[in-house]
A and B are shown apart, each in its own frame.
Chain A
Amino acid sequence: MLRVIRRIVAWCGSYGWRVYLGMAISVLSAIAIASPAFVAALTMGRVVEDAQGGAPPDPSLVWQSALAILACVLLRFAVSYAKNRIQESVGYERAPEVRIEVGDVLKRVPLGYFSRVSTGDILSTVTTNLSTLELEGVRQADAAVGGYLSAAVITAWLFSVSPWCGMVSVCAVLATLPTLRAVNRASARLAARAHADQERLSGSVVELFRGLGMAKSYGHAGAVLRPFSDDVDALSATRVSIEKAYTPINALHKGILEVASVALLGVAAAGALAGEVPLWSFVGIALFSTTIFGAIGRLTDAAHMFADLDDVLDRLERIEKAPFIDGDGRDVVPERHDIRLEHVSFSYEGRDGVRREVLHDVSLDVPEGSTCAIVGPSGSGKTTVSGLMARFWDVDSGRVCVGGHDVREFTCDSLLQNFSMVFQDVYLFDDTIEANIAFGCEGATHEQVVKAARRARCDEFVSQLPQGYDTVVGEGGSALSGGERQRVSIARALLKDAPIVILDEATASMDPENERLVQLALTELTCDKTVVVIAHRLPTVEQADQILVMDQGRIVQRGTHRELLEREGLYRDFVEARAQAEGWRLG
C-alpha cells in the first residue's frame, strides 16, 4: 500500500507537498472530530462526582460545555476547509495537466503506436481511468495515511490513560494489516479480470451495433445477441465473484476492530474499577469506543481502490513512456523540397508483437515540383510509403530524405511544416468550418480562411449553410457530405500552403459530381508543388511525371503512363481491368 501511496503522490508532481500537508492536517481533523466526545466525558465526569456524593456541577457548566463543543465544530470546519483548499483540489488540478501532457505525447509518438496499442485502450486510459485517479487518488491516499496518523494520535492518548488501553489499540491496528493486504490482493487479481471482461463487452457492443443490419435482414437476432449476452453474463459473474471475495474479508476486518473496541471498553472499565483510570477518561473511552477505529475500518475501501489506482498508474505510465519519434531531432528548414527513399525496408509490429516486413528495399526519387503517382493493389504498401515520408513511422533500414536531409534529423513539427496531406478518410473535428480550415494555422485571419475555402470550392456549399463558416460540422463532420468534407480538408491543406502535397486516395469515395469539384480543388492545391499521389483510379494519375507501380511491398514498375502502357506488366493489366470495371453493366 505504501508503494501505491508514494506513486500517487509522485503522480501529483509539484503538488505533492500539498498532499503531504493535507495528511498532516488529518491529525488535527481527528482531534477536532474526537473532541466533542471528550467535552461530553469531562461533563459526565462532574455529574458522576456529584452522583458519588461530590460537589454538584456548577450550572454555568451548561453553557460552558455548549461553547466548548461549538468551538470543536468551528475547529472541525476550519480544519476540513483548509484540507479541501490545500489537498482535495490537487487531483482536479493535476489531472488536466496530465491530459494535456498525454495529448502532447500522443502527437509525438509514431503512428505505429496506435496500431500496436488499441485506440480503445488509450481512450479508456485518458478518460475513465484518469477520472478515477482524479477523483479517488488523493482522497484514498489521504484516507490511508490520515487514518493511520489519527490512529497514532488516539493510541498515544490511550497509552497516556493506561498502557493496557494503548496495547489493545496497537493490537487492533496490527491485526487488521493482513485483512487489508488480503483485500488488496484479491482486488488486484479480480480487478484485472473485470477490466478484461469490460473491454470484451465494449468489443461486443460494437459488434452488436454493426451486426444489427445483418440481424434484421437475415432474421438472426440470436446470432448477433449471443456473444453480447455471453459477455454481459461474464462481466456480471466476475463482479459477483469480486463481491463474494470482498464481503467476507471486509466483514472480518470490521469485525476485528469492533471486537477490539469492546476489549478497549472492558480494559478501560477494569482500569476504572481498579482506580487506575480516571472516571472521565473511562467515560470518554466508552463514548468514543464505537467510532475510535472508524478511520482504520474504512481502509478496506482504500485497499481495494489501491489495486485499481495502481493499474491506472501503470497504464498512464505506459502511455507517457511511449517513445518519442523525434527525441533527438532539431528544427531543420530544408532549402529544397524533393523526396528520396534509399533502400527502405519497413515492418509493422502487430498487436501480437510479431513484426512483418511490408516494404522491401524501396528506392524512389521525387524531384522538387514534380508529380509522382503510386499505384498498386490494396495492401501493396502505397500508404506506408507516404507515411514514411512524413515520418509517421521510422524505417527499419535505408533512409528517407526530404530536401536532402534525413527525416530523422528533423523534429516532427519542423518536418511536417513541409507537408500538406489529404487522406481518403477525412477527419473533421466537431467544431466550426472555419476552425476546421484554420486547424494547424492558428493565426489565420477570416479572409485567409475564406480565400482558401473559395479555392477549394467550399464557398458554394458553405454560403448555403445558415451559419456559414460558423456552422459546426458535427462529430466526424457528419453534417457535411463526403465530398464537402473532402473539400474542407483540402481548404485546410491549401491554407497551410506547404511545399509538399501528399494525396492518399483523396477522391476514392466520391459521387461523380463531388469528385469533379474535389478534383478542381486538388488542382489548386497541387499547383507548383512536389506532389505524391496515391490512387486506385488510374485516370487520375495518367499525367504524372512518374508512376511507381507497387506490389507486395516492392516497386515493380516505374515510368510514365505511356511508357508503362507499352510494356507488359501489372500496370497494363490494371488499366485493362479498370476499363472493364468502369464499363461493367448489370442486367
Chain B
Amino acid sequence: MAEASGSGGRIGVPDGGGGKGRRRDTRGWVSTLLSYAGRCRGKMAASVLLSLLSVGAGLVPYYAIYRVLDVVLLGGGWDGVVPWLVVAVVAHVATRLLFAGSTLLSHISAYTILADLRYDVARKLMRASLGTATSKGVGSLKNLLVDRIESIEVPLAHMIPELTGNLLLSLGILAWLWAVDWRMALACAATVPVGFLVFASGFASYNRMYAGYMEASDHVNSVMVEYIEGIRVVKAFNQTSGSYRRYADAVRAFRDYTLGWFKATWVTQNLALAVIPTTLLGVVPAGLALYLEGSLDAAQFALCCVLALAVVMPVTYLGASFNVANNVSYAIADAREFLDLPELPQPSARADVRGRGLVFEGVCFSYGEGRDEVLHGVDLEVGEGEFLALVGPSGSGKSTIARLVARHWDVTAGSVRIGGRDVRDMPLDQLSELVSYVSQDDYLLAGTLLDNVRLGRPGATDEEVLAAARAASCEEFVSRLPQGWQTPAGEAGHALSGGERQRICIARAILKDAPIVVFDEATAFADPQNEARIQASVAHLARGKTLVVIAHRLSTITGADQIAVVSEGAIVARGTHEQLLEGCELYRGMWQAHVGASSWAAGSRGAAGASEASDKKGDDRSC
C-alpha cells in the first residue's frame, strides 16, 4: 500500500506460491507495462503533473528556511521571520494536497492496469486453444492472476509519478546549488558516485542472486503446497517424529540462501547507504573553504547546507526503486507467459458443411514445437450417424485424437474434416454447434443446476431443459435436494457424487443436440447404480448422432460400427469387435485383460485370472 515500498525495502515480497523454478524472460517488461499504462494516459498524466507541482511546492519550505536563517544570522528582526514561516506552512500544505491527489490518481490508474492485465490474461485463455490454455495448470494461473499481478501495484502506483518527481527534484536542487556556486553542486553530489562504487562492488551478482532467490522461494512454496495437498500420504507414511525431510530441506535451503545472500551484501549495502545520504560530507568542508576564500557568504553557505539535506530524501528514493523494478519485471514476465500464448486462428465466415461425417487424414500432432510427435499419420473415416470407438493402452493417443475433433489443439500436419470441411476453416462457434464433447472432467459453472443444463442452449424453454434433464435421469437426485433445480451448483457440488455431476453435464449436451458427439468415457467406475444411469443417458445422447467414444472398458463398445485400435500414436487396426478379436493380437490381449481384470479379487487367492492374462502380455504389441 501507499509508500510501503519506498521505505528502504530490501527486496520485493515474492508473494504467493506455486510454480516450479524456471527461467523467466524479463526482457521488454517496460514496454509491456507502458502499453498498459497508455490505456489510462489521462489519469497518469494528471498524476505526473500533480507530482511535479508538489515537487515544486516542496522546494519552497527550503527556501523559507534559508530566508529565516538569513534574517536571524544577519541580525534581522521577528517581523522578517514571520512571513517566511507562513510561506513555509502554506507550501507544506500545498505539497501535501498535490501529492495526495497525485498518489490517489496513480493508484486508481495502477488498479486499472492490474484489472486490464487480468482481463487480458483471461481473454487470452478464451482465444487460445483449450490444450494450450490449460497447459500451465491452475496453480500457476492462480498464482499469477491473484498474487503476482497484485504485487506490482505498489511499485506501479509509486514509480511513475514519484520516480519522475524525485528525479526532477534531485536535479532541481542540484541546479539550484549550481546557481549558487558550481563547486558546491559538485561537492553535494560527490557522495553519490562514491556510494554507487561501493554498491557496484556488491551489485555485480545482484541479478543472479535475485533470480536464485526467486527460484528458491518458488521451490519452497511449491513444496509446501505439495505437503499440504499430500497430507494424507504424509500422515500415513511419515513415521519418524521429525518433519518430512523434503519439506524441511526446502525450508532450510531457502533460509540459508536468503541469509547467505543478505549477509554477503550487508557490508557493501550498509556502507553505501551510510555514504550516499551524507551529502554534508562534501558540502560542509567545501562550503567552509569557499567561505574562507571569500566566494561564498554566510547565508549562501547556510542555503547550501539546507539544500544538501533536502536532496537526501529523493536520492534515497531513487536507490530504493532499483529493487522494486526488479520485482515488477519478474511479475510482468510471468504475465507474459500467458499473454503471449498463441491464439487459435479462425475465419469469420461460416463454412458450408455437407453432411455430418468425420474424416481424419494423415493427422500428425505434437504438443508444441520441439516436443515429441504423439500422433503419426492418423487416418479415420466415420460416416454420418456411425459409431466409432477408439481403444488402446493408456497414453496411446486415443483421447488426443478425440480432442482434435473439438479443436482443443490444431494438428501439426494433415487435417480433421467435418462434412468435408477442415475444422480450421470454420468459426469456433460453428464448430461448437456441430460437436458436443463430453468428458469425465466436465465442470459445473457457478449458477443454479438449471442454469447449468440450460447452458447447452440458452434459448431453451424450461420444459425443454427439464426434458433433457429427464433424458439424462437427473430428476431423481435433483428432487432429493431441498432447493431442487434452483440449488446453486457450488453447494450442489458437495452434495452430488461424481456420477451425478456427470449426468448434469450429459443433460447439457442432450439439450445442445449437436449432430456429432465425442464421449470420453470416465476411467473410474462410479457405483453400479450410477454407472447404469450414466450409460442410459449417454445412449440417449448418442441416438441418431455421429458418435466417437474413447473407451476404457471394452465391453461398452463391442457393438460399435467401427473400432480403431490406437497404439503409440498410430491406428494399428480397424474393424468390428469380432473382426478384431480374430485379427488383432493387441485387441485380443486387451480384451482378455479386461475380462481377466474383472475376475480378480483382493488377497493372493484371487490372482489366478490375472496371472493367466499376464501370460499373453509378451506379444501385446505385435499386432
Contact = CB atoms under 8 A, between A and B. Distances in A.
A417 interface: yes
Contacts of A143: 7
Q: Determine the interface band of chain B, counting residues with CB < 8 A from chain A.
A: 35 or more
B497 A513 contact: no
Q: Interface residues of A: mostly helix, strand, loop or mixed?
A: helix
Interface string B105-127: 00110011011001100110110
A47 B300 CA distance: 11
A439 interface: yes
Interface string B58-96: 000110110011011111011001100100110011011
A573 B223 CA distance: 46
Contacts of B93: 255, 259
B4 A305 contact: yes
A65 B284 contact: yes
Most A C-beta atoms less than 10 A away, residue of B287, B526, B598: B598
Nearest to B499: A378
26 contacts: A37-B280, A40-B280, A65-B288, A92-B262, A127-B225, A135-B13, A187-B1, A207-B446, A213-B441, A214-B455, A217-B432, A218-B455, A219-B428, A243-B2, A247-B104, A262-B88, A273-B81, A282-B72, A416-B237, A439-B238, A496-B237, A513-B394, A536-B527, A581-B525, A583-B555, A587-B559
5 closest residue pairs by CB, A with B: A440-B237, A543-B601, A577-B528, A587-B387, A77-B274
B305 interface: yes
B167 interface: no
A62 B292 contact: yes
B230 A214 contact: no
Given A482-B394, A539-B599, A542-B606, 16 more contacts: A37-B305, A39-B280, A51-B298, A202-B142, A217-B432, A242-B1, A243-B104, A250-B2, A251-B97, A255-B93, A269-B71, A269-B85, A378-B527, A508-B525, A583-B555, A586-B549
Most A C-beta atoms less than 10 A away, residue of B75, B232, B283, B313: B232
Contacts of B114: 236
A386 B496 CA distance: 22
B162 to A, nearest CB: 14
Interface stretch (B25-33, B169-177, B242-250, B357-365): B242-250
Contacts of A304: 1-2, 4
A128 B16 contact: yes
B135 to A, nearest CB: 11
A286 B78 contact: no
Nearest to B86: A262
Given A248-B100, A289-B65, A440 B247 contact: no
Interface string B477-507: 0000000000000000000011100000000
Contacts of A136: 13
Most B C-beta atoms less than 10 A away, residue of A119, A202, A512: A512
Q: Determine the interface band of chain A, counting residues with CB < 8 A from chain B.
A: 35 or more
Nearest to B2: A246
Contacts of A80: 270, 273-274
A164 to B, nearest CB: 14
Nearest to B20: A475
A354 B538 CA distance: 37
B532 interface: yes
A136 to B, nearest CB: 8
A39 B224 CA distance: 53
A480 B271 CA distance: 52
Nearest to A511: B394
A586 B541 CA distance: 11
B241 to A, nearest CB: 6
B552 interface: yes
Interface string A33-57: 0001101100110011011100011
Contacts of B455: 214, 218, 220, 223
Interface in A427-461: 427, 429-431, 435, 439-442
Contacts of A135: 11, 13
